[in-house]
Amino acid sequence: MRLSYLLASAASAALLTGFPSQSGASEPSDNTMNETASDTQTADETATETPPAAKRVPVEIEQVGRTRTDPYQWMKDENWQQVMRDPSVLRDDIREYLEAENAYTKAALEDPTESLRETLLKEMRGRIKEDDSSVPAKDGPYAYYVRYREGGEYPIFARRPASQAFSADAPETILFDGDKEAEGESYFSIRGLDQSPDHTLLASAIDTQGSEYYTIRVRNIETGEAVGEPIEGTYGSFEWGADSNLLYWVERDDNGRPTAVFQRNLTTGEDVEIYREEDPGFFVGVSKSESEDFIFVETGGHTSGEVWFFPADAKAPEPVLIAPRKEDEEYSVSHWNGAFYILTNADGAVDFKVVKAPIETPGRENWEEVIPHRPGTLVLGLDPYRDHLVRLERANALPRIVVRERESGEEHTIAMDESAYDLGLGSGEYDSTVMRYEYASPARPDQVFDYDMASRERTLRKTREVPSGHNPDDYVVERIMAPAWDGEEIPVTMLRRADTPVDGSAPLLLYGYGSYGMTIPASFSTSRLSLVDRGFIYAIAHIRGSQAKGYQWYLDGKLDKKENTFKDYVSAGRYLVDNGYGSAGRVVGHGGSAGGLLMGAAANMDPELFGGIIAAVPFVDVINTMSDESLPLTPPEWPEWGNPITDGAAYDTIMAYSPYDNVGDKPYPAMLITGGLSDPRVTYWEPSKWAAKLRYEAPEGGPYFLRINMDAGHGGSTGRFEGLKETAIEYAFALASVGLIDDYTLARESRSGGGD
């Protein structure tokens, strides 16, 4: 078990933090304006009393025979690449406008709800075991784990002797102290952390800006001394070679794209290019096989890709291609039982199948089917061990773990009981019969099990502790199938207190995402209990665009079928209201990134369904973003949304739903719109332009609160308690928007603002 897995567990808040991370995958006009902000309100005392009125400078854009006008294009700094790395260079008029918006949000939302926010923060923090730790995982002579100190914002990565893996009294070596490393930094993100194969060195990838340009540093574990010079401008992913002297890392280019893999020789300090991708629509990654025998270089977009490999002990590697890229064909590779086992959707295997290929001749012509395609059963991933092949699948919108025995080929499934739950594969030593998995449900805190694949016995290693107390039996978890507008059935995961009535009187929070095939899990969150315990019903709509019901569910929610995603979400909301899980005008919509696009589209479709909308880092300026190929994620995103630069039909499809381009004079609900100044995925100007246009086009709706984090990127604040402060603002807004805060209202008659 390597530290990189433990880092992933900590980052996803599966065991340690107790608050949901903001999932996001969507990413992101020449700016002709260099005017001052003389006609834009600034963040003085007057500006806090009423919403800022953004100046309007119409810019006409012609494209594929169409013309559109953008009145707020000036908010995009022409030097945005520099702003990502150094926010202090942001143009003055833009900064003044954003600060004015933040001042208004503070005065009109944050200050009036301060007492409630402090209560929420205290509750949420009280549910977190502050000195929590992960279950130690063995790797050779050591067992590695992550822990927090009391009051600590960032994790500590440590190890103890493997022979004393589960002994709290065992001697500890601290490898990386996140709190100390983060001192003096307003933003601190750990992307990669991994020990060398000989356990003497530690490599880390850190971003202190939020721009997702990571610096890799290597240090000697025993002495703490730096080994060689830092590697700047990386994507944050890296892998060790077999001899602990070579490190393979991924370069991030000036447009923010991971484009090349280099080999760093720690003895000489030399960097040698191993692979470079020329297609701007393909991103590059590097990984190591579970057996640790091979290094894989993966390159691909959303719907196709290819994998190269070389032995992990190669000094001067020459990558070998497994199978060339092919349109609309995906594959990933594992090394097991003397062959490459390949998960692929080739030959019409929509929900993927497993084939194997000889290492010497791994091309498609030599692929041999091992696990056939089974429509409706989506194979999510493979996890090889010496004598067993584990796979994670999803069927009927629920995950399951299947174990295959190497010699006999016999398979068995690890049984789960609840109606809605989340499963995650951990990892273990390749030569062991013991695998690790994580289980949770919306009402049941995360549990970590070690499962012996030979004896089929499982050992509970940890249950997440909720210090302030939690009884799963106080809550009801349901899986409801809501009919869509076209007769399809939409899975919806529901959580409520057992004493919350289902008669239309309870407020409803409806969470959604629905893009890139990402499926929101039915997981446990201590934070959302602050809403549920106040009478909210919490629902997650597993709409098209996700893979909740298989890969076809994803295909039916992208490109020219994208509108299915938005219609599914609204259909689910209306069905829940019709069946007593809420009432129109008391539904709070919540989504982030591409889920923020969902919020904007749903608000345009059915504004009167909602009492409030939380749109976190929302991808709402779709046509402009997908028409700007200089942005980091635009070329790779064309297979998801279409290319409006060359395709008139794609242009028309996007324009028909793009939230920013479809704002009208409608009874929009109150909205909390957030962003990050150094966010390379959804750039700060998307939520800013949207908020300005909403306020101008629909002044009787709202109010519209824009909150731009001037010190962070896509995921917001990085500390575990600092992140809770942002959640408390969102939840205070949710409670206010359905009338659950005494002496504070977001009533429509109080909404004003506009600008000219």
The model's pLDDT over 77-94, given as tens digits with 9 standing for 90+, comes to 999 888 888 889 999 999
The dotted CATH code for 185-376 is 2.130.10.120
Band the pLDDT of 633: cuts 50, 70, 90: confident
Q: Are 277 and 320 in contact (CB under 8 A)?
A: no
Of 202-211, 539-548, 741-750, the least confident: 741-750
The pLDDT, as a whole number, for residue 354 is 98
Q: Which residues is 614 bridged to in the sheet?
A: 590, 672
Q: How far apart are CA 568 and CA 610, in angstroms?
A: 15
> CB–CB of 510/539 below 8 Å?
yes
Asked whether the beta carbons of 524 and 443 are under 8 A apart, the reply is: yes
Q: Which amino acid is at 520?
A: I
DSSP secondary structure letters along 576-644: HHHTTS--TT-EEEEEETHHHHHHHHHHHH-GGGEEEEEEES----HHHHTT-TTSTTHHHHHHHH--T
pLDDT above 90 covers what percent of the chain?
80
More confident residue, 346 or 16: 346
Cα–Cα distance for residue pair 250/297, rounded to 1 Å: 10
pLDDT at 37 over 90: no
pLDDT score at 713: 53
Which residue's structure tokens are 């959302």? 528
pLDDT band of residue 498 (cuts 50, 70, 90) is very high
pLDDT at 21 (0 to 100): 26
Cβ(513)–Cβ(21) under 8 Å?
Answer: no
pLDDT score, position 192: 86
Element holding 283 (H helix, E strand): strand 283-288
Mean pLDDT, rounded, of the chain:
90
Q: Which of 590, 627, 714, 737 is catalytic?
A: 714
Question: pLDDT tens digits for 429-467?
Answer: 999 999 999 999 999 999 999 999 999 999 999 999 999
Taking the CB of residue 518, how many other CB atoms lie within 10 A of it? Answer: 20
Asked if 240 and 284 touch (Cβ cutoff 8 Å), the reply is no
In sequence order, what are the beta bridge partners of 215? Answer: 206
pLDDT at 577 over 50: yes
Q: 391: part of which helix (H) or strand (E)? A: strand 388-395
Q: If you write DSSP's letter for every residue of 106-132 in order, what string do you get?
A: IIIIITTTHHHHHHHHHHHHHTS-TT-
What pLDDT sits at residue 19? Answer: 21
**Distance in angstroms (rounded) separating the CA atoms of residues 640 and 102:** 33
Which CATH number describes the domain made up of 52-125+469-750? 3.40.50.1820
Q: Dump pLDDT digits (tens) for 475-494.
A: 999 999 999 999 999 999 99
Task: Classify residue 433 by its DSSP letter.
Answer: S
Residue 353: strand, helix, or coil? strand
Provide mean pLDDT across the span 643-657. Answer: 97
Helix, strand, coil percent values for the chain (each to nearest 5): 25, 30, 45
Q: Where are the domains of the chain?
A: 52-125+469-750, 185-376
Average pLDDT over residues 681-698: 95
Give the pLDDT confidence of 336-393 residue by residue, as tens digits: 999 999 999 999 999 999 999 999 999 999 999 999 999 999 999 999 999 999 999 9
In the beta sheet, which residues pair with residue 448?
Answer: 438, 462
pLDDT of residue 149: 92
The token pair that represents 494 in the structure block: 């529901």
Q: Which of 316, 312, 321 is nearest to 361 (CA)?
A: 321
Q: Is residue 607 classed exposed, middle or buried when 0-12, 13-18 and 19+ CB atoms within 10 A define those classes?
A: middle
5: confidence class by pLDDT, cuts 50, 70, 90: very low
Examine the residue annotation and report whether 593 is marked as an active-site residue of this protein.
Answer: yes
Mean pLDDT, range 322-349, rounded to an integer: 96
Q: What is the pLDDT of residue 483?
A: 97
Tens digit of each residue's pLDDT (9 = 90 or more) over 593-611:
999 999 999 999 999 999 9
Is a pLDDT exceeding 80 seen at residue 428?
A: yes
DSSP codes of every residue in 729-755:
HHHHHHHHHTT-STT----GGG-----
Residue type, position 276, single letter: R
Sign of CA dihedral 74, 79, 83, 84: positive
199: annotated active-site residue: no
Catalytic-labelled residue, pool 593, 678, 717, 737: 593
Residues 201-224: tens digit of each pLDDT: 999 999 988 778 899 999 999 999
Q: What angle do CA 216, 217, 223 make, to 5 degrees?
A: 160
Written as one letter, the residue type at 503 is D
**C-beta separation of 323 from 333 below 8 A:** no
What does the alpha-carbon distance between residue 333 and residue 356 come to, in Å, rounded to a whole number? 9
Other Cβ atoms within 10 Å of 237 Cβ, number: 21
Report the sign of the C-alpha dihedral through residues 172, 174, 178, 183, in that order. Answer: positive
Catalytic residue among 132, 194, 207, 679: 679
Task: State the average pLDDT over residues 33-61.
Answer: 63
User: Taking residues 111-121, what's their average pLDDT?
Assistant: 96
Whole-angstrom Cα distance, residue 438 to residue 422? 8
What is the bridge-based pairing of β-strands 537-541 and 508-511?
Answer: parallel
* Helix (H), strand (E) at residue 688: helix 685-697
Q: What is the pLDDT of residues 174-192, one digit of tens each?
A: 999 999 999 998 888 898 8
- Are 52-125+469-750 and 185-376 the same fold in CATH? no
Q: Is residue 706 a contact partner of residue 51, using CB atoms and an 8 Å limit?
A: no
User: How much is the pLDDT for 375?
Assistant: 94
14 has pLDDT over 50? no
Distance CA 443, CA 445 (A): 7
User: What burial letters (b/e) apply to 105-125, b meaning 16+ CB within 10 Å?
Assistant: bbbbbbebbeebbeebbebbb
Residue 679 designated active-site: yes
pLDDT above 60 (res 670): yes
| Distances in whole angstroms, Cα of residue 350 to Cα of each of 344, 403, 554 | 9, 22, 10
What token pair was written down for 280?
């701007």
pLDDT band at 712 (very low <50, low <70, confident <90, very high): low
